[in-house]
Amino acid sequence: MEALPVVSPARPLHPSPWSLLGIGAAPLVMAVLGLTHPADLTLDTARHWTSLHLALIPLFPLIGVNVWWLLAGVPGPLAWLARGGAFVYAAYYPAVDLLAGVGTGRLVGLGVDEDSAVVAALFRQENALGDVGNLGLLAACVLTLAALWPGVGRRVVPGGVALLLGAWLFTRHHIYPPLGVTGMLLLAAGFVALL
């Protein structure tokens, strides 16, 4: 019986500059926006806090989309588990922006004390949902590198290191400057290098 041919990722040898820009764009925009992220939510920062998180809502899921993009044409259970982790991230992490960004920002902007029980409750709920999204992202990144390894070998290492470090910084520091912004820049570099 003849062995089946090895299926390699269906991607060009030299991706177009548009593809590289496309896969790096969302984390780069989030890094720029992160430079303006207030350190604390107060009555003075509430309007910007709310507006910033409204702008971020459609951007955060694109990190998960980027994982799927890297895995285009990659078969096997590791690739599908990575896609599943990216889906979990994309489904749960936007709750961070909705609850701790928009929800708390609106409440504080309307005069609710930032140390009130209702604001604290929204932050607690955000942390619980955000943790699920963070675990999904970290798992997706590790599994993506494992799924890409058979096709590209050691060439996955530079982009993989950037991707993993960026994901870890992001899960620890959101997009707060400087470490969260650094995480976004590393995610952009990792996605571009791996594509």
Q: Is the dihedral of CA 150, 154, 156, 160 positive or negative?
A: positive
Task: Tell me how far apart the alpha carbons of residues 138 and 178 are, in angstroms, rounded to a whole number.
Answer: 20
Q: Where are the domains of the chain?
A: 18-194
pLDDT of residue 8: 47
Q: Is the dihedral of CA 93, 95, 99, 101 positive or negative?
A: positive
pLDDT of residue 15: 82
pLDDT of residue 4: 41
Task: Tell me how far apart the alpha carbons of residues 172 and 161 are, in angstroms, rounded to a whole number.
Answer: 17
Averaged confidence pLDDT in the chain: 92
- If one counts every other C-beta atom within 10 angstroms of the C-beta of residue 151, the result is 16
pTM: 0.90
Give the residue ranges of the chain where pLDDT is below 70: 1-13
pLDDT of residue 16: 87
Question: Is 69 in contact with 195 (CB distance < 8 Å)?
Answer: yes
58: Cβ contacts below 8 Å, ≥ 6 apart: none
